[in-house]
Structure 1
Amino acid sequence: MNTLTAEIQKEWVSHILPFWANMKDDEQGGYYGELDYSLKLDKTAAKGGIANSRILWSFSAAYRYLISNSYAEHAHHSFRFLKENLLDPVFGGVYWSVDYEGHPLDTRKHIYNQAFAVYSLSEYYRALNSAEALELAKTLFFLIEEKGYDPKTNAYKEEFNRTWQEQPNEMLSENNVIASITMNTHIHILEAYTTLYRVWPDSRVRAALENLLHILYDRMFDAKTGRLHVFFDQNWNSLLDLTSYGHDIEASWLIDDAMQVIGSDHPDHKKMIVDLAYSVAKNAIQSDGSLANEREKDHLDKTRIWWVQAEAIVGFYNAYQRTNDPLFIDLVTNLWEYTKNHIIDSRLGSEWVWAVKEDGSHDQREIAGAWKCPYHNSRFCIEMIERMSE
């Protein structure tokens, strides 16, 4: 495993972090909004709230782990852009996007977006001790709980306009449905609150985390198939027979992380962690060691998406730590080999490709953009380095 650790550290420090450092916009603030597949930089592309939060998280975590002033400077840079350009000074919360000069562009408020701001601000405080960032994270936590949480359904709502009037969930719905409740938003609120609780162990955050774990198990987890349902209507009816393998394996280790942070030993939740990992291993691993994207009814989408491979490596290693089953070590090794050979882009000035299609060709979506950020692959590197060195 020493070779694996060294390779992952090299990829992180010598490739991923330098790529994102080069995306810094020193003129307008924040980070450039898009680098397309041909490696053409669009300096006038919109700058997304989620992307900025993920960049803030990535450089904050890099500083916490590597203690390099250059990473601290990037974290400060992205924090300033969030505070000065992405936060709504009138109605509160984080905009979906601003234009390249930092002016409000898409002013909708999405709970998923607010959660990523909480996540990144908490990590920034954890790494660099910014009291201002922690206060912002607390403010957004209370805003999510006030506006986003619905005690009647015991679920978090999704999308609002600028003034916090609820509207159809366009931004986190896919597969031709509009979902009132999504698994995706809930696992990322869980992730955000877990990091917030690490730095601010308040009883209200703990209660929200405990409730989220129960929502995931009681409402979203299908114990018979070992999967999480993805999209729901407002009455908790599942809208699609859909399995998202990347989200399932990501959720597996995020649930475990949350349980460890609050000291939970709930037997059903512990079993859910392992069942999710075994189910993904059984149903989604391909002959080349990669992980397929999703299954809708009987159709398996074999697209190999960059973040799915990254999260699967962490999720399977976490499952190994839970079970000591060597199956998971084999899965980790094979996934890393696939990622090295097919997902990491060897072109100078590039990073990871969006995906590899079933025919082996690259999906020519952007290399950097509103959804293509360093968080999944930076975090995979940090998690694996820390776990394998324990």
Structure 2
Amino acid sequence: MTKKIIFLALVMSFADLPAQRFDDGLIREFRKAAKEDLLDKWYPLAADNDDGGFYSEITYDFKIGDHQDKMIVTQSRHIWTNARAFLLYGEDKYLGYAEHGFRFLRDKMWDKGNGGFHNLVTKTGKPIPKPGEAKTAYGNAFAIYALAAYYKASRNEEALELAKKTFRWLEKHSHDPEYKGYFQHMEANGDRIARTADTPSAADTGYKDQNSTIHLLEAFTELYTVWPDELLRQRLEELLLLVRDTIVNDDNYMNLFFERDWTPVSFRDRSKETIEKHYYLDHVSFGHDVETAYLMLEASDALGRKDREKTLHTGKNMVDHALDNGWDSKSGGFYDGGYYFKGTNGITIVNPDKNWWSQAEGLNTLLIMDRHFPGDKRSYGEYFLKLWKYTGTYITDSRKGGWYEWGQDTRPETRKDPKGHIWKSTYHNFRALANCIRMLEE
């Protein structure tokens, strides 16, 4: 009986821990940030009622900008956000926005002749051929992500069928049956674009990469929850193990680009000038590491894998590495990138700026880690609160609403940069805020 009382007391103490640090006022802050300061600013403003889909460029003061080519990634992210907003709030307007975006994907961005989604189209939906990336695995992954979420919200069978069709198109044109994983760059007809002797050394053409891989993992996870197909399960497990056991290296961060056989692309033995020239291909991306810790766990849970603890601890090690090496101990926030230069001790921060999506993903993952490891010496909950304070001070715009692209502590000159463009919409920050609200309320 005594042991039972002690056990119950311990359980109750852990249950009480989040309530002591995360009160109702914090929940109200997150609710306001998600709805009034984000969703209400973007929608219905971003819905293009003339040509379909969503506007790409939104100015700093929330007006429609001049550059309105539409990319599959951004269009899909708007659909996903509104589908999830409908599931969270139950308001029909969000389902309407998601349906509006779905129609543009189906009618304008799907290649009816060759299959797959065009990467970039004009405002009206005319394909814009771009050498080297007419179609991408990354873009088609986000289409699957959006279509599966929209189906979950609407039960529109046409959306699910299009998601299945996209998965099968990737299986035919992008999947590597020999070394596993997916090729990123494809021609309009689906032919893989290989790297040649003429490919510029700083270009990513022909390489496999962590970014498309983690977002295929994310997309297949979303699709698997509504379509538990056996081949899809195999590919989802394949991606999870690739990320966890190959892309994440022994130093607890992800290599970024790879040869076809998953040999990492590295310039560490080259001159500093060469390393700087190839920064995009070879550096430590703290934001991606923190985000991937969450995506791996989400995939593992969807699959019901028995080795969940291994995945969880791999993610924890990645978060710990990012906190120990990529966290600004003075102002807070995650730096953009670092590098382990040969012959030096420790890491060098090579890009001290802080982008919005890394901070958003950090909020989500730090709260997850706090739930799993409430007594850890790093105190993930305290880092979470510090990051929320940093985000409120330097990332969110208290005057005009929305999120700046860069932290204003290091990039104040970007204050009037667009709030939205083809690489920035509402997906990272809304997902993080919605997940945090759910965890805080639980």
TM range, normalised to the smaller chain? Answer: over 0.9
User: Per-residue deviation at 1:362?
Assistant: 4.3
Structure 1 residues 308-387: aligned runs within 5 Å: 308-325=358-375, 327-348=379-400, 350-356=401-407, 359-363=410-414, 365-387=417-439
Residues 2-54 of structure 1 deviation map (CA, whole Å, 9 limit, x = unaligned): 22221111111102112221111111111112124475533552011110000
Structure 1 residues 1-390: aligned runs within 5 Å: 1=22, 2-21=24-43, 22-37=45-60, 41-42=64-65, 45-106=68-129, 108-167=134-193, 176-178=202-204, 180-223=207-250, 225-240=251-266, 241-266=282-307, 267-286=309-328, 287-298=330-341, 299-300=348-349, 301-325=351-375, 327-348=379-400, 350-356=401-407, 359-363=410-414, 365-390=417-442
- Report the secondary structure of 2:261's partner residue: coil
Letter in 2 for 1:359: T
Q: Once structures 1 and 2 are overlaid, which stretch shifts more, 119-128 or 270-279?
A: 270-279
Letter in 1 for 2:424: K
Letter in 2 for 1:53: S
Q: What is the rounded CA distance, in whole Å, between the counterparts of 2:404 and 2:160 in structure 1?
A: 34
User: Per-residue deviation at 1:61?
Assistant: 0.2
| Counterpart contact for 1:30–1:77, Cα < 8 Å | yes
- Report the secondary structure of 2:128's partner residue: strand
Q: What is the rounded CA distance, in whole Å, between the counterparts of 2:236 and 2:69 in structure 1?
A: 33
Q: Once structures 1 and 2 are overlaid, which stretch shifts more, 311-320 or 60-69?
A: 311-320
| Counterpart contact for 2:83–2:150, Cα < 8 Å | yes
Q: What is the rounded CA distance, in whole Å, between the counterparts of 2:283 and 2:220 in structure 1?
A: 26
Q: Which runs of 5+ in 1 are unaligned?
A: none
User: Per-residue deviation at 1:147?
Assistant: 1.2
Letter in 2 for 1:58: T
User: Per-residue deviation at 1:206?
Assistant: 1.4
Residues 173-197 of structure 1 deviation map (CA, whole Å, 9 limit, x = unaligned): 9993425110011100000011111
Alignment RMSD: 2.1
Q: What is the rounded CA distance, in whole Å, between the counterparts of 1:344 and 1:292 in structure 2?
A: 17
User: Per-residue deviation at 1:297?
Assistant: 3.2
Letter in 2 for 1:352: W
Q: Once structures 1 and 2 are overlaid, which stretch shifts more, 328-337 or 44-53?
A: 44-53
Letter in 1 for 2:426: P
- Report the secondary structure of 2:147's partner residue: helix
Letter in 2 for 1:381: L
Q: 1:28/1:143 Cα in 2 relative to 1: closer, same or farther (>3 Å)?
A: same
- Report the secondary structure of 1:355's partner residue: coil
Q: What is the rounded CA distance, in whole Å, between the counterparts of 1:330 and 1:290 in structure 2?
A: 13
Q: 1:174/1:216 Cα in 2 relative to 1: closer, same or farther (>3 Å)?
A: farther
- Report the secondary structure of 1:295's partner residue: strand
Q: What is the rounded CA distance, in whole Å, between the counterparts of 1:53 and 1:129 in structure 2?
A: 17
User: Per-residue deviation at 1:218?
Assistant: 2.7
Q: Once structures 1 and 2 are overlaid, which stretch shifts more, 261-270 or 281-290?
A: 261-270
- The structure having more radius of gyration, on CA atoms, is 2
Residues 234-271 of structure 1 deviation map (CA, whole Å, 9 limit, x = unaligned): 23221235211000000001100111111113143232
Q: Once structures 1 and 2 are overlaid, which stretch shifts more, 333-342 or 358-367?
A: 358-367
Q: Which runs of 5+ in 2 are unaligned?
A: 1-21, 267-281, 342-347
Aligned length: 385
Q: What is the rounded CA distance, in whole Å, between the counterparts of 2:150 and 2:63 in structure 1?
A: 30
Letter in 1 for 2:242: I
| Counterpart contact for 1:153–1:235, Cα < 8 Å | yes
Q: Percent of pairs identical after alignment? A: 28
Letter in 1 for 2:154: L
Letter in 2 for 1:196: L
Residues 291-331 of structure 1 deviation map (CA, whole Å, 9 limit, x = unaligned): 11111334411111000000011111111222223611011
Q: What is the rounded CA distance, in whole Å, between the counterparts of 1:234 and 1:294 in structure 2?
A: 25
Q: 1:237/1:102 Cα in 2 relative to 1: closer, same or farther (>3 Å)?
A: same
